[in-house]
Amino acid sequence: MEIDFSKAPVEVKNLRSQFGDNIVHESLDFQVGSGEILGLVGGSGSGKTVLMNTLLGLKEPDGGDVFYFGQNRSSLSYKDRQSLNNIMGVLFQGGALFSSMTVRQNIMIPLREHTDLPVPLMRELADMKIHMVGLPAHAATLYPSDLSGGMRKRAGLARALALDPKLLFLDEPTAGLDPIGASAFDQLILDLREAMGLTILMITHDLDTLFTICDRVSVLVDKHIAITDTLPNVMKHPHPWVQEYFGGPRARAAINAGDGAGAS
């Protein structure tokens, strides 16, 4: 399948998601631009994870269409869907590493499943990704239980990058990290975007991350995307949740710390 990388990496039109009678999304429109870092925010229970799972193909939409690089997922063959999946990477919250495998073995899983490369080359590629995310070389032989929270996230990120994806999904990537660790992880994301030409969608509640590295922010409220725009414009949106979220003391502290840098 030929993929046209000039098209929008992700576009959602008129999405509906529901579980029984519970409607999570209705008339939801959404687009991620090529090469951008887009932050997705919303209150608890607003359906952020459901939306990400739908974009990842883990949940089929109950209505509407999902396009990847101009291709409607619903019209693709199983083989073409697999081709699309191979250019997507995902870092689940907490890393989601297999506890019985070393870091290197975890990173090799996508390579084993989707390539026929010789094992020594898989090991070499895994070690390259370990270095790329800033982990020490000896981390390759460690198990998840041997790692700090920040190291587990980096190991999970290395696995997400195993197949050199074009589109990267991050679920609360800095949750649980101290401010220094979170700042370092933010810088890592910026560096990887530049080095690998990534398009990144991240669910985050971290106001510092939103202000520091996101090109645009999407707000999920009332079952749809209320606004997707640069942060200064999002903060002017009149919806009560938006005003409460971005008008609180933590948001003001983040603004003062960065003077709004990175929000344009």
pLDDT at 3: 83
Query: What is the C-alpha R_g of the chain?
Result: 19
Q: Give the model confidence (pLDDT) of 110-121 as tens digits.
A: 999 999 999 999
How buried is 62 (Cβ within 10 angstroms: 0-12 exposed, 13-18 middle, 19+ buried)? middle
pTM score of the predicted model: 0.91
- Considering the domain boundaries, does residue 116 fall inside one? yes
**Higher-confidence residue: 159 or 247?**
159
pLDDT at 78: 86
Q: Which residues constitute the domain of residue 130?
A: 90-164
Q: Give the model confidence (pLDDT) of 66-101 as tens digits.
A: 999 999 998 988 888 888 888 999 998 877 899 999
Closest residue by Cα to residue 209 from 174, 180, 178: 174
Counting residues of the chain whose pLDDT is more than 90, the rounded percentage is 77
Q: Give the model confidence (pLDDT) of 55-65 as tens digits.
A: 998 899 999 99
Taking the C-alpha atoms of residue 260 and residue 246, their distance in angstroms, rounded to an integer, is 12
- Considering the domain boundaries, does residue 7 fall inside one? no
Closest residue by Cα to residue 36 from 199, 192, 152: 199
- Considering the domain boundaries, does residue 68 fall inside one? no
pLDDT above 90 (res 127): yes
- Considering the domain boundaries, does residue 99 fall inside one? yes
Q: How many domains does the chain have?
A: 1
Q: Give the model confidence (pLDDT) of 234-253 as tens digits.
A: 999 999 999 999 887 666 66
- Considering the domain boundaries, does residue 136 fall inside one? yes
pLDDT at 263: 43
Taking the C-alpha atoms of residue 118 and residue 36, their distance in angstroms, rounded to an integer, is 34
Backbone angles phi, psi at 63, to 5 degrees: -175, 155
- Considering the domain boundaries, does residue 211 fall inside one? no
pLDDT at 250: 67
- Considering the domain boundaries, does residue 126 fall inside one? yes
